[in-house]
């Protein structure tokens, strides 16, 4: 009986913690660059972006520190932290992607984290998605491009969606 009671109490505590975290406001604690590049498909689901609850922020702090400095320790970065590149990369990404033919017919959001560029949103064709990826990949200091662009606006997006 005491084991069963302990299990019930643990489940209740975990459920209460999850409920509390669900109602907790989210924000961009790490000031990661996140912006909308184009608005050509207004029905496109809006990505959540790099927002976290306070609890998620605490969970991410250690791993972000490790991932950020591992680049420098491996000799792949001149800066002591890979996240130090993000503002410069974001400033270069915006005009480079805006110059891609057809981007105005798409709805694209960009997030930059530790030299990785995330492209999220909706494009009228896979060809445009490939062009955007190539343009971002060709920029100095970009280590990786993650393309989460869906053709059209129907279906489930391959990225977390912002709360309504």
SS3 category, 66: helix
Q: What is the DSSP letter of 95?
A: H
How far is it, in rounded angstroms, from Cα 94 to Cα 116?
14
| Domains in the chain with CATH codes | 30-51+83-151 (3.30.70)
Torsions phi, psi for 109 (to 5 deg) = -115, 150
Given its phi and psi angles, is residue 108 left (phi above 0), alpha (psi -120 to 50 degrees) or beta? Answer: beta
Average pLDDT over the chain reads 88
**pLDDT tens for residues 52-62?**
999 999 999 98
Instruction: Give the model confidence (pLDDT) of 101-121 as tens digits.
Output: 999 999 999 999 999 999 999
- Three-class SS of 124-157: CCHHHHHHHHHHHHCCCCCCEEEEEEEECCCCCC
* Strand positions, DSSP E, 7-159: 34-39, 107-113, 116-123, 144-151
CA distances 88 to 70, 74, 80, 144, Å, are 20, 21, 15, 15
| Residue of 45, 53, 46, 47 whose CA lies nearest to 28 | 53
Whether the pLDDT of residue 22 is over 70: the answer is no
pLDDT score at 43: 96
Q: What is the pTM of this model?
A: 0.84
Q: What is the mean pLDDT of residues 85-91?
A: 97
- pLDDT value at position 44? 97
Cα-Cα-Cα-Cα torsion 91, 92, 94, 98, nearest 10 degrees, comes to 150
């Amino acid at each position: 009986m005491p084991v069963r009671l302990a299990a019930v109490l643990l489940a209740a505590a975990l459920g209460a913690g999850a409920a509390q975290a669900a109602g907790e406001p989210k924000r961009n604690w790490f000031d990661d660059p996140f912006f909308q590049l184009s608005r050509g498909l207004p029905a496109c689901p809006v990505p959540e972006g790099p927002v976290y609850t306070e609890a998620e922020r605490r969970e991410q702090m250690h791993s972000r520190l490790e991932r950020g400095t591992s680049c420098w320790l491996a000799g792949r970065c001149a800066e002591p932290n890979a996240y130090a590149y993000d503002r410069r990369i974001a400033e270069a990404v915006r005009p480079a992607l805006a110059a891609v033919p057809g981007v105005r017919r798409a709805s694209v959001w960009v997030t930059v984290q530790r030299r990785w560029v995330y492209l999220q949103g909706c494009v009228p064709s896979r060809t445009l998605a490939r062009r955007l990826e190539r343009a971002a990949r060709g920029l100095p200091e970009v280590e990786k491009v993650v393309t989460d662009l869906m053709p059209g606006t129907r279906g489930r997006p391959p990225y977390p969606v912002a709360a309504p």
